Amino acid sequence: MSEHGPVDTLKAIGKRITEAIGEGRFPVVDLPNRATDNIEFDSKLNQFVLGSSRVKRDSSNLKHIRSFAQLTWVAYFAKQLLESDRTSSLRDLYYSSEAFGVRFNDQAESDRIITDLECLTGQPREAFGIFPEERSSIFGSVKLNYTVPGYEGREVDLTLSPDGFPIGRALMTAEPVETDAEMILAVESGGMFSRLIETKAWKRYQAILVQLGGQPPRSTRALMRRLHEAFGLPVFLFTDGDPWGMHIAQVVKSGSANAAHILGLTIPSANWIGVTPEDIREYSLPSEPMASADLKRLDELARDIRYEGPDWQNHIAEFRSLSRKAEQQAFSRYGMDFVVDTYLPDKLE
Amino acid sequence: MSEHGPVDTLKAIGKRITEAIGEGRFPVVDLPNRATDNIEFDSKLNQFVLGSSRVKRDSSNLKHIRSFAQLTWVAYFAKQLLESDRTSSLRDLYYSSEAFGVRFNDQAESDRIITDLECLTGQPREAFGIFPEERSSIFGSVKLNYTVPGYEGREVDLTLSPDGFPIGRALMTAEPVETDAEMILAVESGGMFSRLIETKAWKRYQAILVQLGGQPPRSTRALMRRLHEAFGLPVFLFTDGDPWGMHIAQVVKSGSANAAHILGLTIPSANWIGVTPEDIREYSLPSEPMASADLKRLDELARDIRYEGPDWQNHIAEFRSLSRKAEQQAFSRYGMDFVVDTYLPDKLE
């Protein structure tokens, strides 16, 4: 991924601001409005997008001057990161602001301004070198070329580390070269990821394995989508059997309202293979009663446009009538290899 | 690391049990007592150890029969893992028990029985292929040979993945081959870890970098100790400036009472380089007032035998008088590279 794009975008923003000042006008930035009533679901793209309403940050308006200055500084800092080939965590950016005399009340405020920059540019913060702390992992028969400084053009084979590879900036920006795999299989827990590596299930299924670890960072979703598109690989998602696990799969598939301003992260054809409520019943999995938070979450999902289809509504109804949940590790009640030898092959067919 | 040892240990336990049964006696297992009053600090080893008191699990005693059976099953399961070259998470082991009709009330109970097995054998659960979910990462100019199945003797160079390598079973059991490094520098946050990689600080300091991510898993401590011993590298620990960060460093150095039954994880010569309370003052770092939980933790540490030395007591007194805490990212107030160009070189001298 070339980083030419983001720098040019930032320069264009800066140019508009300095031109306004040069002409004696107060600079104004206008960006898509990301208030709830301007978020709509685009069923063709299968993701949330922003509507046509826009908001202004007008430096002549006393109410706007603070967020205008903060946004300008975040854009400046992002350009610095890109030009010096650095990355920053969200937290680090918050602290860095002090070096410039820019004030944020707390990290929540600086995070919000970073989202403003995403809205303004249509690009995810990761494109500007700004990453969250969380990482997930990947393993499988696929080769990519790094593009990060010092590693340009160096090939990495993702079977080389039997503990997997963390998905950071280097893998997120690497270019897919070739693969023997025929699918991407993403799993929720680290334990399941390790099990699939050490039983050589990745070879048997010809799968690239991804460990999501809860709601995966966007860098992980971006890499999955890139591999999906570059090699035409179908994507299968295996999570815990509860509303939260189901929703991890849904966000990989259809994205989130929070990221309605960013295109290119969703994988509409991705399949949630389980643990479904039907699996819990059919396999008599060890399960726990749902807590009230789980049931409340089911109600929210039932009304969510991403769950409109009959299959999703069925899963929700089944979860409700069952009123129990199970983890993906629960298959171990049938022995360590049951999930690898029986459950997953059945589901992946 | 050869896995011959643990299997033999487990076989010997099984043999004693079956012999007793063969001779018409109720089998008895006896193991070191890990109650608080049997834990003492060994200042020569610089770690907690268990005293001479022991406890019995007697299968003829109705009160013992449940934990006796659980312990026997955990030992059996561990042997299965080792002989089939598998690993299991703590959670997975809990679920696996159902496949064998062995009952645990909850995961806390199976975790406790795993600790019993550690006590009985003097070996950490990881030696039996039982791992927690958490992983930390490593990066640097060091080569190791994998010993895990399918990768035996394959060399890995820990500069090959610019996102770092997760420390799982494969790296934990790899054999150190050679290094250009002159120290091990372990940092608390992923953001700091990435910063030190991308600024090539690892080259400049000739350091192997470790990301601890809070209290590091034992596999990480074991790998750090192995590299420390194999190459005679000094270890430096850079954490957040609060009682919790200081204690991350202390546990790497002196271990914990919870692991008093395991030798070989501590690094007595390791150095905590900051963020010290003195640093917070001297560098006028952005800081937050300590919460009552922080102050309570300081009181506990002040009475803790591991903090007996005058340097530690000074740090605690300084933290108290300052009554503020700061994160390692706080140095960014002086610009992105201050920590790499100024603070760390000063501290590492």
User: pLDDT digits over A276-324, tens only?
Assistant: 999 999 999 999 999 999 999 999 999 999 999 999 999 999 999 999 9
Contact across the interface for A91 and B191, Cβ inside 8 Å: yes
Which among B98, B200, B335 has the least Cβ separation from residue A286? B98
d(CA A296, CA A332) in angstroms, rounded, equals 29
- At A135 the pLDDT is 81
Q: How far, in Å, are A155, B276, B315 from residue B312 at the CA level?
A: 47, 10, 5
How much is the average pLDDT of A59-82?
96
Minimal CA separation from A252 to chain B, in Å: 22
Which among A87, A199, A335 has the least Cβ separation from residue B198? A87
3-class SS letters over chain B = CCCHHHHHHHHHHHHHHHHHHHCCCCCEEEEECCCHHHEEEECCCCEEEECCCEEEEECCCCCCHHHHHHHHHHHHHHHHHHHCCCCEEHHHHHHHHHHHCCCCCCHHHHHHHHHHHHHHHCCCHHHHCEECCCCCEEECCEEEECCCCCCCCCEEECCCCCCCEECCHHHHCCEEEEECCCEEEEECCHHHHHHHHHCCHHHHCCEEEEECCCCCCHHHHHHHHHHHHHHCCCEEEECCECHHHHHHHHHHHHCCHHHCCCCCCCCCCCEEEECCHHHHHHCCCCCEECCHHHHHHHHHHHCCHHHCCHHHHHHHHHHHHHCEEECHHHHHHHCCCHHHHHHHHHHHC
A248: number of Cβ within 10 Å = 21
Contact across the interface for B91 and A150, Cβ inside 8 Å: no
- At B344 the pLDDT is 97
How much is the average pLDDT of A65-84?
95
pTM (2 d.p.):
0.91
Give every CB contact of residue A118 below 8 A, 6+ residues apart in sequence: A124, A125, A261, A262
**In this prediction, what percent of chain A has a pLDDT beyond 70?**
99
Q: Which residues of B touch A165 (CB under 8 A)?
A: 161, 163, 165-166
Contact across the interface for B332 and A99, Cβ inside 8 Å: yes
d(CA B242, CA B316) in angstroms, rounded, equals 10
Domain with CATH 1.10.10.10 in chain A: 4-37+53-131
CA angle, A80 as apex, A111 and B340 as ends, to 5°?
90
- At B98 the pLDDT is 83
Minimal CA separation from B53 to chain A, in Å: 36
- At B1 the pLDDT is 35
Contact B237, B249 (CB under 8 A): yes
* Domain covering A4-37+53-131 in this structure, CATH number: 1.10.10.10
Arch. (CATH architecture) of B4-131: Orthogonal Bundle (1.10)
Instruction: Report A:302-341 residues touching B (Cβ under 8 A).
Output: 327, 329-336
- At B183 the pLDDT is 98
| Interface membership of A85 toward B (CB under 8 Å) | yes
Of A76, A94, A95, A146, the catalytic one is A95
Q: Taking 90 as the threshold, does the pLDDT of residue A270 lie above it?
A: yes
Q: Which residues of A touch B198 (CB under 8 A)?
A: 85-87, 148-149, 169
Chain B residue with CA closest to A93: the answer is B332
Q: Taking 60 as the threshold, does the pLDDT of residue A218 lie above it?
A: yes
Mean pLDDT taken over chain A: 93
Instruction: Report A:90-129 residues touching B (Cβ under 8 A).
Output: 91-92, 94-96, 98-99
Q: Which residues of A touch B94 (CB under 8 A)?
A: 329
Interface confidence, given as ipTM, is: 0.88
Per-residue pLDDT tens over the stretch A94-122: 988 988 889 999 999 999 999 999 999 98
* Domain covering A137-348 in this structure, CATH number: 3.40.1360.10
Q: Which residues of A touch B160 (CB under 8 A)?
A: 156, 160
- Per-residue pLDDT band for A1 (boundaries 50, 70, 90) equals very low
> Dihedral of CA A297/A299/A300/A301: which sign?
positive
Per-residue pLDDT tens over the stretch A33-49: 998 899 999 988 888 99
Domain with CATH 3.40.1360.10 in chain A: 137-348
Contact across the interface for B333 and A171, Cβ inside 8 Å: no
Q: Which residues of B touch A201 (CB under 8 A)?
A: none
Q: Which residues of A touch B191 (CB under 8 A)?
A: 88-89, 91-92, 131, 133
Residues of chain B under the 50 pLDDT cut? 1-4
